[in-house]
Chains A and B, each alone.
Chain A
């Protein structure tokens, strides 16, 4: 028999409220779902996103300067300038794009909790990035030998500024990648926590995605 202190009377005045169906064991219906206020991405991810926006504007400024000289000149490339190595650099472009593919595969490996595959793919990415830089450096030495330097002409200054800054970014990304590779070998990354790898992949993707734009503008256009 229910106690009068806890049991509701059948004729209780509800004050206009609708009578509730008694639940199993009594009590109110379950509370509505609470939306999670957990962030959708880590702070580092947002920070790198902002940094990449700033980098994009930096290169936009350099491209804008290049456009002024390129479009303002009646003849391009200017006469008596060494011709750029379009074919070799085209192959180099494919090598860099392949490095972005292996870099994204490394993300898949960490999400599958496969540490050995992760390390192997990071090594492939670093190797491809290194090959890109070596070929670029070799081609630059040839251009310098043929007389195209930073101070030889506006053409040379534009070429080395635009392509040089990109090369510097690739070099920085490669250093970062080597640090991430060392961390991966020490077991730093897991399926649940791999923000360090994720932001390195973001930066590498940016550097790789920028290169076809520069190649098309400087070498082909």
Chain B
């Protein structure tokens, strides 16, 4: 395993994409690599944006509901006051 890893790390030809056959140093190889990196990152970006949007909406809604619940009652009645013990 160590031997295989050493060969893979030190051999410059493995920097080429597995699909293209042009080898290292060709602009097509770099183009493919950048494209693959971009497409790898996109699902995380999309799912992260959706999750972030849902979380932001949840926090905003929860804050609004909490504000509505702790709001002052429109009419002060005896049983709303602390002195009544209720």
For residue A50, which residues in chain B have a CB less than 8 angstroms away from its CB? 50
Known: A24-B84, A60-B39, A61-B39. A69 touches B46 (CB 8 A): no
B57 near A71 (CB under 8 angstroms)? no
Q: How far is the CB of A18 from chain B (nearest CB, A)?
A: 15
Known: A50-B50, A56-B42, A56-B46. A21 touches B30 (CB 8 A): no
B57 near A41 (CB under 8 angstroms)? yes
Cβ-based interface call for A72 (8 A): yes
Pick the residue among B47, B58, B62 that contacts A53 (CB under 8 A): B47
User: Interface readout for A17-54 with B: 1 if CB under 8 Å, 0 if not?
Assistant: 00001111100011001001000110000100110010
Q: How far is the CB of B41 from chain A (nearest CB, A)?
A: 9
Report how far A33 CA is from B78 CA in the complex, Å. Answer: 20
B50 near A57 (CB under 8 angstroms)? no
User: Interface readout for B4-48 with A: 1 if CB under 8 Å, 0 if not?
Assistant: 000000000000000000000001101110111011001100110
Number of interface residues of A (CB under 8 A): 30
Report how far A41 CA is from B46 CA in the complex, Å. Answer: 19
For residue A56, which residues in chain B have a CB less than 8 angstroms away from its CB? 42, 46
Mark out the residues of chain A between 173 and 203 whose CB falls within 8 Å of any chain B CB in the assembled complex. Answer: none
Number of interface residues of B (CB under 8 A): 29
Cβ-based interface call for A87 (8 A): no
A22 near B85 (CB under 8 angstroms)? yes
Mark out the residues of chain A between 78 and 132 whose CB falls within 8 Å of any chain B CB in the assembled complex. Answer: none
B46 near A53 (CB under 8 angstroms)? yes
Pick the residue among A23, A25, A49, A72 that contacts B27 (CB under 8 A): A72
For residue A70, which residues in chain B have a CB less than 8 angstroms away from its CB? 31
A53 near B65 (CB under 8 angstroms)? no
Pick the residue among A40, A63, A71 that contacts B31 (CB under 8 A): A71
B58 near A40 (CB under 8 angstroms)? yes
Mark out the residues of chain B between 49 and 63 whose CB falls within 8 Å of any chain A CB in the assembled complex. Answer: 49-50, 53-54, 57-58, 61-62
Report how far A137 CA is from B47 CA in the complex, Å. Answer: 34
| Chain B residue with the shortest CB-CB distance to A67 | B35
Residues of B within 8 A of A (CB): 27-28, 30-32, 34-36, 38-39, 42-43, 46-47, 49-50, 53-54, 57-58, 61-62, 65, 69, 78-79, 84-86
User: Can you add 8 more A-B contacts, CB < 8 Å, to A23-B84, A24-B86, A57-B43?
Assistant: A23-B85, A24-B85, A30-B86, A57-B42, A64-B39, A69-B31, A72-B27, A72-B31
